[in-house]
Chains A and B, each alone.
Chain A
Amino acid sequence: MRYTSLIIKTSIKNNIHFKIPLIIYIIITLICVVGITAIFSIISISPEMEKELTDISLLETYLGVIMYSTCTIGVGVNLNAFAFQSITREKTRGNIESLLATPLKAGSIWAAKSIATFIPGLIVGEFLTILVMIVINYIYFIPEIGFIFNPWTAVSTFIIIPLIFLSLSLLSHLVGLTSRAANGNIIVQIFLPVFANVMINLSIHHVLEITSWTFTAINLGIAAVIIIISIFLMRRLTKERIVLSG
């Protein structure tokens, strides 16, 4: 555990200095979060608030979609931007092989690299989500109907989304370390747009209510599937396989 936290700290310190991915992450995240929040506020929340009889469950859904999207973008785009540094770059530049030649275990290196790539996104994603939730409540809801907070949306957003992307980080690092490094990045790059589009569209079109426990359970199921795949692939995680796939 001591070694894991040591590698996490070092990797975060190293990753944060990569200016281009950091700038890309900040710009994409801000554009998406501000854009989604503005569009939903103007097109959906504002007209609903002007009605004489406001539908609170509808407002909960709109707020839920904004929060869910914000957290997904905050955590997911970070993983997209930095997984390349963590897997491809470190593998090709010999950082991983050097670590493997020390007394560290392959499992510790894998876990630490996965968590290190995930943590900055978690902090930014959760912070932006809380910020967006408070701002929308203060601008629209508190003056008229009071603070809106749905517990299932909160669980999905603040707990399950990070869990999904932590599992995805573990899976992509596992695949990237034990096969061609780019394979790990491809998983992340495909997953984020597909997952975000499907889940947000399902909730917007009321196929799955974002405020329901079913939505939370489905998200939890996605995390579970990724974790099960990772556990299944873990037996591939040997020093020999990592070195020879480099």
Chain B
Amino acid sequence: MQPVISIKNVKKALGDREVLKDISFTAGKSDIFGYLGPNGAGKTTTIRILLGLLQADSGNVEVLGKNINLSETRRKIGFVLDSDGLYENMTAEDNMAFYTRIYGVSEAEERIGSLLKIVNLDDRARDMVKTYSRGMRQRLALARSMVHDPEVLILDEPTAGVDPSGQIEIRQIMINIARKENKTIFLSSHNLDEVQRICNRIALIDRGKIKLYGELKSLRQGMGKGMVEIKTRQPIPESLELEIKSLPELGLKEKMDEMLIFSPTEGTGVSEIISFLNSRGVKIEEAVKKEASLEELYSTILKEAEPS
């Protein structure tokens, strides 16, 4: 994978507090890279470093193979920050036009028109931004971020505060940008469902450290490895439950009426669990090998990281 965004061993302290503690990750072309973490984990600081707003104390930050502080690199980046930074007393068109002039976009009018159409704001293009809803503002900010046709989009919670239908629209726009236009999207979000739906790679940051990083699919498979859900035809008697619990290789995690969830150790397969249950006279209705959801990944990692 050719890295489009590359952060290597970056450290950053703000005052006495070490906000980023030697973080590293890369995102490739057409990736939608989800950047997750609780409040105060260091997400915004990372974004600010990626945009050249803050300087890393040490380490290396490159976008498209070049230093982020170069003007030519910044021209290839579009962004939506947590505050949209739109001029409220100007129309959507004027807001866009202002940024086309900053980036020196040729044929600006056509570009503005097509982008406003993409974000479904073409019919409100001449309205003042102060009359817009939160969702419309976010869509406009997204359109503005693409005004100079950037290679990379850095988005800080673009769907925060947006109603569900607005969230769906914004997500679809992001997917189209990445898939159809081959752009790389760096998406910081609290919305796990959103990240799970659209991101192919993720990094989870907590207290300035990357706790989890990689392809989302393999992380989910890795974390859910061996997780097996078994539905039985009759409730499991207590004596059997105790017997199952006494066998650590089966790794019984949860029992709910006729549902058993196992997390078996390596070397123990679904077939072993089934044959054990069968040998005890349990009739099985369904056995499903589970992938961990992002929410499970998130809570497991953060729980592990909690100071004892």
Contacts and interface: CB of A to CB of B under 8 A. Distances in A.
A94 B102 contact: no
Contacts of B89: 13-18
B226 to A, nearest CB: 45
B279 to A, nearest CB: 64
A53 interface: no
A103 interface: yes
Interface stretch (B76-84, B118-126, B193-201, B293-301): B76-84
Secondary structure dominating the interface of B: loop
A240 B86 CA distance: 21
B102 A102 contact: yes
A156 B5 CA distance: 56
A228 interface: no
Interface in A19-56: none
Contact of B90 (A10, A100, A240, A243): A10
B54 interface: yes
Given A94-B85, A95-B85, A101 B54 contact: no
A149 interface: no
Interface stretch (B45-53, B237-245, B261-269): B45-53
A244 interface: yes
Interface string B48-88: 10011111000000000000000100110101011111111
Contacts of A93: 83-85, 88
A101 B81 contact: yes
A17 B101 CA distance: 21
Nearest to B77: A101
Q: Which of B52, B55, B83 has the most CB of A within 10 A?
A: B83
A99 interface: yes
Interface in A94-114: 94-104
A102 B98 CA distance: 12
B102 A240 contact: no
A16 B88 CA distance: 12
A178 to B, nearest CB: 14
A101 B90 contact: no
B249 interface: no
B276 interface: no
Nearest to A89: B88
A101 B55 CA distance: 13
A102 B51 CA distance: 8
Contacts of A13: 89-90, 94
Contacts of A18: 89
B99 to A, nearest CB: 7
B85 A10 contact: no
Instruction: Report the contact-size class of chain A (Cβ under 8 Å from the partner).
Output: 20 to 34
Contact of B85 (A6, A98, A103, A243): A98
Interface residues of B, number: 29
B82 A14 contact: no
B215 to A, nearest CB: 29
A42 B6 CA distance: 74
Nearest to B90: A14
Contacts of B51: 101
A94 B137 CA distance: 13
B85 A97 contact: yes
B247 interface: no
B53 A100 contact: yes
Contacts of A94: 81-85
A180 interface: no
B256 interface: no
Contacts of B14: 244
Contacts of A236: none
Interface in B84-143: 84-90, 94, 98-99, 101-103, 128
Contacts of B74: 101-103
Contacts of A17: 89-90, 128
Interface string A59-80: 0000000000000000000000
Given A13-B94, A14-B90, A103-B74, A6 B79 contact: no
Interface of A: 3, 6, 10, 13-18, 92-104, 239-240, 243-244
Interface of B: 14, 48, 51-55, 71, 74-75, 77, 79, 81-90, 94, 98-99, 101-103, 128
12 contacts: A14-B88, A98-B81, A98-B83, A99-B102, A101-B79, A102-B99, A102-B102, A102-B103, A240-B53, A240-B55, A244-B14, A244-B54
9 residue pairs, one from A and one from B, having the closest CB atoms: A94-B83, A98-B85, A17-B89, A94-B85, A103-B71, A101-B51, A14-B87, A103-B74, A95-B85
Given A13-B90, A243-B54, 12 more contacts: A14-B87, A17-B90, A18-B89, A92-B83, A93-B88, A95-B86, A95-B87, A97-B81, A98-B83, A102-B99, A102-B103, A103-B71
